[in-house]
Chain A
Amino acid sequence: MIAWLRQHREAFARAFGKLMQQRGASLLNALVIGVALSLPAGGYALLANLQGAAQRFTVEPQLSVFLRQEARRADLEPRLKADARIAQARFVSRDEALRELRQAEGLAEVVAALERNPLPDAFVLRAREPSAAALESLAADLRTLPGVARVQVDSAWAQRLGALARIGRLALAFLAALLATGLIAVTFNTIRLQILTLREEIEVSQLLGATDAFVRRPFLYLGVLQGLAGGALGLAVLWAGIATLNRPVRELAQTYGSDFHLAFLPMPETAVLLGAAALLGWLGALLSVSKYLR
């Protein structure tokens, strides 16, 4: 057990030494891996930010319930207030609605031209559950109430955004798989080159009784280290990209009176990215050494 640990430490030291010995080439390899990783990671970060923003907007899940002309406020109000799914119900009378319309820019003349008030009474509701499904089912129930003419879910656009995000996630998964394959190929090739330059040493070691595991070990560490270096560079690229984008994004958000800005990858995702990079490097190295040893 101690001997085994020592052999691992020695293999790691040898892999690290090789990496340092060829600093230039190692850096370029890590850069290739880093750029490849930064693409899906950046996409993921953007998508996460977009979803965060969408969630913030749908914090106000609004429904408008328009009443029939003959319906009266008192008939509906108690039932709405009693519904647990509704957080708040505000009555907007037809007169009030007309006043609001008149105040809206450019519509005053149109309203003045009307002979009578065409607007219905309405309730503006805020639901407790912001999900699209909950809003839809609430709207469906409200439509069955007597006196209700029309129910409009004001957050339908959030649904569209959600669907868009799903497509984005799918495209991202595809991209990530593609680039992961690329990463394995890059590691495979660099490790193969390493093996070729160390062929003599491998041969001698085998003649002296080295097991396949002994031969494989430093190369696996090399793959892992290269993957980790690539992952770290990828994160750096991503960080730089987000920092650069954030300046114009903040300016844009300010014009909408929002303090929205892009957030960096959260810690768990950062760890996953580094772990994946290490794993893929390991896999590439394993394929490469196994091919050689066969």
Chain B
Amino acid sequence: MISFSAVAKRYPGGEEALRGISFSLQAGEFAFVTGHSGAGKSTLLKLIPAIERPTSGSVIVNGQNVGALKRSAVPYLRRNLGLVFQDQKLLYDRTVYDNVMLPLAIGGQPPREAAKRVRAALDKVGLLARERANPIQLSGGEQQRLAIARAVVNRPAVLVADEPTANLDAESAGRILDIFVSFHQVGVTLLVATHDQGLIERYGKRVLRLAAGRLEGA
């Protein structure tokens, strides 16, 4: 599903964020990416939806070489991916409902079908009762769940989440991981970045450990 081979990423200015990254994730697999801040977790995840491009090596997602994708093809790649961002990137000038509607509006879904999907996604993360609220009125955990609802409303086969439990208490974090597990059970491929060691140990999934831009044990 996702395959990195000899991927390096150097940002302008010479800083090398990733070096010699090779791994591959089977369809339906659930893996954590871990490491200290600055180890390259976010950079690695950003290569998958072509937010960043690799300096060398190749990133294959669903059979497509993402690093070589034309700019005009990138939107269609992203529509097939569920993305949860470190800073959530919610829009605070519209309701919870409209935030989740955005990917469907972009994809041109018929409104009736879209409304059904939005409610289903909100129901899945337990926010159906808050659909008229503004994201600013939600707690940190609820905002994170809203971001997840938006990521999965298109029913993507791959979900990529960057530190989805950062700044959350243990209970909220556990709730989010439970949601991820339920996606895993229906066959979604998940790649979740976290530095929360306790969480990783509790779930016992595959772990990609990054240190200074390299995969440990690789």
Interface residues of A (CB under 8 A from B): 2-4, 6-7, 10, 200-201, 203-212, 214
Please tell me which one of the listed residues B75, B91, B107 contacts residue A204 in the complex, with CB atoms under 8 A apart: B91
B35 within 8 A of A: no
Nearest B residue (CB) for A294: B71
Which residues of chain B have C-beta atoms less than 8 A from A211's C-beta? 72, 75
| 28 chain-A/chain-B pairs, Cβ below 8 angstroms | A3-B109, A6-B108, A6-B111, A7-B105, A7-B108, A201-B93, A203-B89, A204-B89, A204-B90, A204-B91, A204-B102, A205-B102, A205-B106, A207-B49, A207-B78, A207-B83, A208-B103, A208-B106, A209-B75, A209-B76, A209-B77, A209-B78, A209-B79, A209-B106, A210-B75, A210-B106, A211-B72, A214-B75
The residues of B that contact A209 with a CB separation of less than 8 Å are: 75-79, 103, 106-107
Q: Which residues of A contact B41 (CB under 8 A)?
A: none
Please determine whether A200 and B91 come into contact, CB atoms closer than 8 angstroms: yes
- Give, as a whole number of angstroms, the nearest-CB distance from B41 to chain A: 18
Contact partner of A3 (CB less than 8 A), chosen from B79, B90, B110, B150, is: B110
For the complex, what is the distance from the CA of A214 to the CA of B110, rounded to whole Å? 16
Interface mask (B30-52 → A, CB under 8 Å = 1, otherwise 0): 00000000000000000001010
Q: Are the CB atoms of B72 and A212 closer together than 8 Å? A: yes
Residue of B nearest to A201 (CB): B91
Which of A3, A207, A210, A212 contacts B89 (CB under 8 A)? A207
Interface status of B4 (Cβ within 8 A of chain A): no
Expressed in whole angstroms, the Cα–Cα distance for A6 and B104 within the complex equals 12
Cβ-defined contact, B110 with A208, below 8 A = no
Query: B183 on the interface (CB 8 Å rule)?
Result: no
- B93 — which chain A residues lie within 8 A by C-beta? 201
| 10 closest cross-chain pairs (CB), A and B | A3-B108, A209-B79, A209-B78, A209-B75, A211-B75, A208-B103, A210-B106, A204-B89, A7-B108, A209-B106
